[in-house]
Amino acid sequence: MTIKPRHLRNMASGIKRYELRKTRPMRVDDDRCHVLLCVSGGGGDIVAEFTMDRYVDLTRADPMEIARLACITAAEAEGYRRKGRGKLYGWGVKDFRM
C-alpha cells in the first residue's frame, strides 16, 4: 500500500487511527491482515507495516468524523470519497512498525 509521508508520520506518532482506502480489504484472515507500506514517490521500498485489526465503512460518514479518524481535513475526506465513486473505508491501524 502506498502512503504519503505525512500520513506515515501520523501513524508513527499514534494519532492516525485509520488509513482511508477506496476499497474494503479483499481478504482478512481471523479478522486481521498485515499491511506493508511504501512512501509515495519513494521507489517502492517497504518503509513500515501495521496490522489491520478492523475496518469500517465510511461511505455515509460525516466528513468531519472521517477527518478526525484519519488526520486529514474534511475537504480532503470528501475529495477522496469522490475519487472512490462514493465508497470509502477506514482500515484500523494497530501494531505500527517502521
How is residue 80 written as a grid cell?
477522496
> Residues 62-76: what's their mean pLDDT?
90
- The whole-number pLDDT of residue 1 equals 80
- Tell me how far apart the alpha carbons of residues 90 and 58 are, in angstroms, rounded to a whole number: 7
Q: What is the pLDDT of residue 13?
A: 92
The pTM for the full model equals 0.82
Q: What is the pLDDT of residue 28?
A: 60
Structural domains of the chain sorted by starting position, each given as residue range(s) with its CATH number in brackets: 2-97 (2.30.130.30)
Stronger pLDDT, 45 or 62, i.e. the higher one: 62
pLDDT of residue 57: 92
Check whether 78 has a pLDDT greater than 90.
no
